[in-house]
Amino acid sequence: MSFHRRDVMAGAGALAVAGLMPAAARAADRVSKRPAPAQRNFTSPAIEAEIARVKAKIADPELAWLFENCYPNTLDTTVQTGTIDGKPDTFVLTGDIEAMWLRDSSAQVQPYVHLVAKDAKLKRLFQGLIQRQARCILIDPYANAFDKDPTAPSRLEWSQTDQTEMKPGVAERKWEIDSLCYPMRLSHEYWKRTRDKAPFDNIWSRAMALAVETFRVQQRKEGPGPYHFQRKALAPTDSLMLGGYGSPTKKIGLIHSMFRPSDDACLYPFLIPSNLFAVSALRQMATVQREARGDAKAAAEAEALAAEVEGVLKQHALVPDGAGGQVWAYEIDGFGNWVFMDDANVPSLSGLALIDAADRNDPLFRRTAALAWSERNPYFFSGKAAEGIGGPHIGLDMIWPMSIITRAMNADDDATILQCLRWLKTTHGGTGFMHESFNKDDPTNFTRSWFAWANALFGQLIVEIADKRPALLAQPL
């Protein structure tokens, strides 16, 4: 199934009008939405045991049903495993789009990484994904999404006439800093859990070196660099101004990101959440280079870039919060212009702690996240169904469940977490899955019925609550 990420699932709204899709599922309708066992793309005994363990702690039947549907959704429906040159290979669809995003694929398997040591098959899946991501980066470090066949042209309808250097194997070529950060973080998470050197071969090392070099080129200290992108589209956020190089900047040492993790063009090319992510991801990758490969030189180069970017962020990316304090800007241009907002897609200002780009107890992060969850953020919406953050990708009044999940993960108080769980429980439109977005007043008006990243993040939230705050799940919502 292939359609633009911006397209709304109009069929869901039509069903709602006909009264055929309640916002919450009735007890009789709460049958498993998982494929039959023989039709699942990948099965893991460790994952099945985890589902049973966590579900047993959930008193609310609908929340338990949502968890059982969502948590294994990536493995059930999007994972394709095999071998390349005798080594494991794992390709992970984003869901209803037949391509693999470097960002999404990393986030989709994140909820399973704590179980890799318990399941050799799951461990091989992670080895294959780390290797596949490395090969993708070597095809084109500026691409955000890739086809399974590295020799094939893009199959995505909206990429066919893009004015950029499209290479075989590339599905979409929107330059986003986080596309390179997520594989770095995934590598570190896997290494930390397993101490397994197998996926960190010369292919991986070459890909990481290219990623660091790409970051340096996109500091644009010595010119605009090779990347440019333009698209004929009705949405201005699908293309870049000034010949495809984006808005002008003062070269202060930050890394330019032409697009946000939503795949929307940046207003100002210094995207602060993504630069903060680069700082942490570079240091994580350096740890793997040093410990798994004994490559002190590569580690030092990554750490030097991280230190440089971190220093510039502290100097240029802090802005007034309107109450006498400071918060992180969302984007800046280096000339003194900045915008404060937030977008649900991670890296976001609200999601920095989820990706190790900020300490969740850091006062600066807490102030920034709190301001993002307010009317100071033009993409914060409050309605009859819920409140949360969206973004320009879908449009106004559309809340992304990802933002509600992020808020719950950031929260320290039970009341906030329970409120987020209630919103998530009552806004799936009767489908049993998380969506890309839903209307703030009508959750049956939603986009993307098969969006594995949101399902995975929801599953991760429930596992974390089950382990850290089990009392919250031991009562009906």
User: From CA 279, how far away is CA 231, in angstroms rounded?
Assistant: 30
Distance CA 168, CA 379 (A): 36
Give the tens place of pLDDT for each residue, 102-141. Answer: 999 999 999 999 999 999 999 999 999 999 999 999 999 9
Q: What is the pLDDT of residue 296?
A: 98
> Mind listing the pLDDT tens digit for each residue in 17-53?
333 344 555 665 789 999 999 999 999 999 999 999 9
Residue 395 pLDDT exceeds 60: yes
Q: What is the per-residue pLDDT for 26?
A: 66
pLDDT for 27? 64
Q: What is the DSSP string of 51-85?
A: HHHHHTT--SHHHHHHHHHHTTHHHHHTEEEEEET
pLDDT above 90 as % of the chain:
94
Segment 94-104 shows an average pLDDT of: 96
- What pLDDT is stored for residue 19 in this prediction? 35
Tracing tokens 């007890």 back to the chain, one arrives at: 27
Mean pLDDT of 347-352: 98
Which residues in 308-346 are b (16+ Cβ under 10 Å) and which e? bbbebbeebbbbebeeeeebbbbbbbbeeebebbbbbbb
State residue 182 phi and psi, 5-degree precision. -60, -45
pLDDT tens digits along 224-280? 999 999 999 999 999 999 999 999 999 999 999 999 999 999 999 999 999 999 999
| Pairwise CA distance, residues 402 & 424, whole Å | 10
Break the chain down into helix, strand, coil percent, rounded to 5: 45, 10, 45
> Which residues, in sequence order, are CB contacts of 389 under 8 Å at separation 6+?
342, 343, 344, 348, 350, 372, 373, 377, 379, 380, 381, 399, 400, 403
**Percent of the chain residues topping a pLDDT of 70:** 94
| pLDDT, position 24 | 55
pLDDT band at 281 (very low <50, low <70, confident <90, very high): very high
Least reliable range by pLDDT among 6-10, 412-416, 431-435? 6-10
**Lookup: tokens for 243:** 């010949």
